């Protein structure tokens, strides 16, 4: 029994040391800015794309902090992590990226892409990385609550928005599944390949999963 208890104690101490080591990586790279727990108490919904879960914060190819409780604030475009009872945030440029849901369904986010009409100060989910790179620019807007009772005080709600963007040789294309738009970026041959591939596999060119398949197909053709 004592041996079993000793093993549990060692595992517990090892876990605490590992978590502390990961937080130390964050501090060594420069602490994020403190943020309020709930800065919008009167707004329905959440500014976070998904709630806090274990993930990774990527500072460089060498430095990655793992198994941290993080969430993506898609309203103010920051990566938020829990440091004890405090919430700390990193803006694009301070870190290379992060991975949400690292142990189950990893979602890789990176900064530095020049988003049309916005610039590089955004984290985007990388869906395909190659000659053609596909990213999902996820963000939230604060809008009037369409479900608010008529005549009541105007309430606000967070609304999700997603823009698919393709990058190739320094050029960007806000994905629009219209012939004119596709020909303008991919050329006539590229459009024919996309159209034929989508028809063969019955793809919906408005669906991010199917668009990802299309971009992966184009990269495989190179």
- Taking CA atoms, 152 is separated from 44, 147, 155, in Å, by 15, 11, 8
d(CA 12, CA 136): 39
Series of mean pLDDT values for 10-residue runs along the chain (222 residues): 42 40 44 70 91 92 90 95 88 92 88 92 96 97 80 81 96 96 96 97 97 97 76
Residue 125 near residue 138, CB atoms below 8 Å: yes
Residue 109 has a pLDDT of: 97
C-beta neighbour count of 81 within 10 angstroms: 23
Q: Which of 107, 113, 129 is nearest to 219 (CA)?
A: 129
Q: Retrieve residue 142's tokens.
A: 């604060």
The b-or-e profile of 3-38 (16+ CB within 10 A means b, else e) is eeeeeeeeeeeeeeeeeeebbeebeebeebeeeeee
C-beta neighbour count of 116 within 10 angstroms: 12
Q: Which of 63, 74, 61, 53 is nearest to 26 (CA)?
A: 63
Residue 152 has a pLDDT of: 60
- The strand ranges marked E within 31-155 are 33-35, 43-44, 53-58, 64-73, 78-83, 86-90, 97-100, 107-111, 123-128, 133-144
Residue 18 has a pLDDT of: 40
Residue 8 has a pLDDT of: 40
- As a dihedral over the C-alpha atoms of residue 170, residue 174, residue 175, residue 181, rounded to 10 degrees, the angle is -90
- Each domain of the chain, given as residue ranges in start order, spans 2-169, 176-222
Residue 34 has a pLDDT of: 73
Residue 60 has a pLDDT of: 85
**pTM listed for this prediction:** 0.82
């Amino acid at each position: 029994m004592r041996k079993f208890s000793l093993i549990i104690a060692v595992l517990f101490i090892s876990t605490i040391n590992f978590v502390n080591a990961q937080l130390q990586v964050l501090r060594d790279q420069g602490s994020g800015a403190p943020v309020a727990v709930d800065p919008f108490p009167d707004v329905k919904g959440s500014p976070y794309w998904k709630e806090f879960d274990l993930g990774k914060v990527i500072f460089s190819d060498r430095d990655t902090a793992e198994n941290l409780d993080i969430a993506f604030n898609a309203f103010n475009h920051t990566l938020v992590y829990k440091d004890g009872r405090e919430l700390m945030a990193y803006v694009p440029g301070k870190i290379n990226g992060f991975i949400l849901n690292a142990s189950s369904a990893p979602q890789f986010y990176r900064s530095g892409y020049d988003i049309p009409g916005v610039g590089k100060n955004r984290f985007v989910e990388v869906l395909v990385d190659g000659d053609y790179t596909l990213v999902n620019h996820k963000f939230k807007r604060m809008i009037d609550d369409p479900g608010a009772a008529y005549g009541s005080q105007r309430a606000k709600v967070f609304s999700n928005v997603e823009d698919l963007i393709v990058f190739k040789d320094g050029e960007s294309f806000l994905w629009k599944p219209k012939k004119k738009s596709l020909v303008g970026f991919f050329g006539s041959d590229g459009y024919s390949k996309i159209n034929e591939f989508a028809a063969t596999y019955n793809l919906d060119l408005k669906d991010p999963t199917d668009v990802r398949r299309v971009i992966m197909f184009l990269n495989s053709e190179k």
